[in-house]
């Protein structure tokens, strides 16, 4: 039986203002296409795999299909294209019904869009975005091989995938109740929603809740990671409030945007169980998700909590270790 792998390549990922103000790299169409071609090569690690590629309004997806290996059946997914995040969500919904694994080339925003609709289909995410919190900085060939091994059942999902958490908020505001959800981070900012959507000034961060925390990550999850570690597959998350470094009981050093290291004051932080809320009162400001300002609020009471209904994620190292231990790559 042929396994199907869905491929989502976001043409817009990795091109925001942070590339002008910080040290983040640019991911253009050529780099995305070369990475996607490496993914397709990696998928040939297993037999009986077919690929469907999310279409776009340009030529990127068609060129990926045209350059696919001869032995790998590859076609464009039939769907309406809007040139927005809706494309990733629509493709993920199709793949949730028909695919055995999904490979995503994009940043946190793209992966959040896919996670909203991917159901229980395992994700392999390759970073072509800005902050690189959720997706992996991994070679496309390696990522494609992992997706093939999971999709075909060559390795068991039970020991090579895990459920990633998310972060949800309910904001009671002057304009009514708003619900918003992030994949890795949800932040509260004391700033008006103007200009770029990216979070560029750490001094505007009131606090936040994250589903993962490591000092190797950038932004809110890196701030939390300077306080404690929280693995992506662990239940719950970490919540924190920031303040002036001079008057706060502690400080933390973190990479706040690519190319920028800062020391921030921490008024409070704690580990949170699933569904345990942290409350923020904000006269006026912005709620951000996964590094982008998303919702402007006023006179708001915001309850933020980690939730357990995130996407299923492939542990690439675990896939290859399991396959190697089973002798999958050997031939006598």
- All domains of the chain, ordered by start, with CATH? 3-163+311-325 (3.40.50), 166-307 (2.60.200)
* Percent of the chain whose pLDDT exceeds 90: 83
Retrieve residue 308's tokens.
């357990």
DSSP one-letter string for 282-298: EEEEEEEETTEEEEEEE
In this predicted model, what pLDDT tens digit does every residue of 138-161 receive, in sequence order? 999 999 999 999 999 999 999 999
What 3-state class would DSSP assign to 13?
coil
Q: Which residues pair with 166 in a beta bridge?
A: 307
Residue-by-residue DSSP string for 171-187? EEETTEEEEEEESSEEE
pLDDT tens-digit series, residues 82-140: 999 899 999 999 999 999 999 999 999 999 999 999 999 999 999 986 657 898 889 99
- pLDDT the model gives residue 21: 47
> What's the mean pLDDT in 68-93?
96
pLDDT at 17 > cutoff 50 = no
Residue predicted with more confidence, 23 or 30: 30
Q: Tokens standing for 255?
A: 């990479």
Can you give the three-state secondary structure of 31-95, one letter per residue? HHHHHHHHHHHHHCCCCCEEEEECCCCCCHHHHHHHCCCCCCCEEECCCCCCCCHHHHHHHHHHH
User: pTM, whole model, 2 decimals?
Assistant: 0.91
Which token pair is 235?
């239940």
């Amino acid at each position: 039986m042929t396994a199907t792998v869905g491929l989502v390549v976001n043409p817009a990922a990795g091109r925001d203002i942070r590339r002008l103000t910080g040290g983040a790299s640019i991911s253009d169409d050529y780099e995305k296409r070369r990475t996607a071609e490496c993914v397709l090569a990696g998928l040939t690690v297993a037999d009986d795999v077919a690929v469907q590629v999310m279409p776009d309004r340009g030529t990127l997806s068609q060129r990926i299909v045209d350059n696919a290996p001869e032995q790998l059946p590859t076609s464009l997914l039939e769907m309406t294209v809007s040139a927005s995040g809706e494309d990733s969500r629509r493709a993920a919904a199709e793949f949730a019904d028909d695919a055995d694994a999904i490979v995503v080339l994009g940043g946190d925003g793209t992966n959040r869009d896919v996670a909203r609709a991917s159901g229980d289909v395992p994700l392999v995410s390759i970073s072509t975005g800005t902050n690189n919190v959720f997706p992996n900085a991994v070679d496309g060939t390696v990522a494609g091989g992992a997706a093939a091994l999971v999709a075909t059942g060559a390795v068991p999902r039970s020991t090579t995938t895990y459920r990633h958490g998310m972060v949800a908020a309910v904001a009671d505001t002057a304009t009514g109740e708003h619900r918003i959800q992030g994949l890795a981070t949800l932040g509260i900012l004391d700033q008006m929603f103007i200009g770029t959507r990216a979070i560029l000034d750490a001094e505007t961060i009131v606090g936040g809740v994250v589903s993962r925390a490591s000092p190797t990550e950038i932004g809110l999850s890196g701030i939390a990671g300077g306080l404690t570690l929280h693995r992506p597959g662990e239940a719950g998350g970490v919540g924190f409030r920031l303040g002036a470094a001079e008057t706060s009981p502690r400080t933390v050093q973190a990479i706040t945007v690519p190319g920028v290291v800062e020391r921030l004051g921490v008024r409070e932080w704690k580990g949170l169980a699933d569904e345990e809320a942290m409350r923020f009162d904000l006269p006026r400001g912005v709620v951000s998700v996964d590094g982008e300002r998303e919702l402007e609020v006023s006179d708001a009471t915001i309850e933020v909590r980690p939730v357990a209904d995130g996407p299923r994620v492939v542990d690439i190292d675990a896939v290859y270790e399991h396959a190697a231990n089973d002798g999958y790559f050997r031939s006598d």
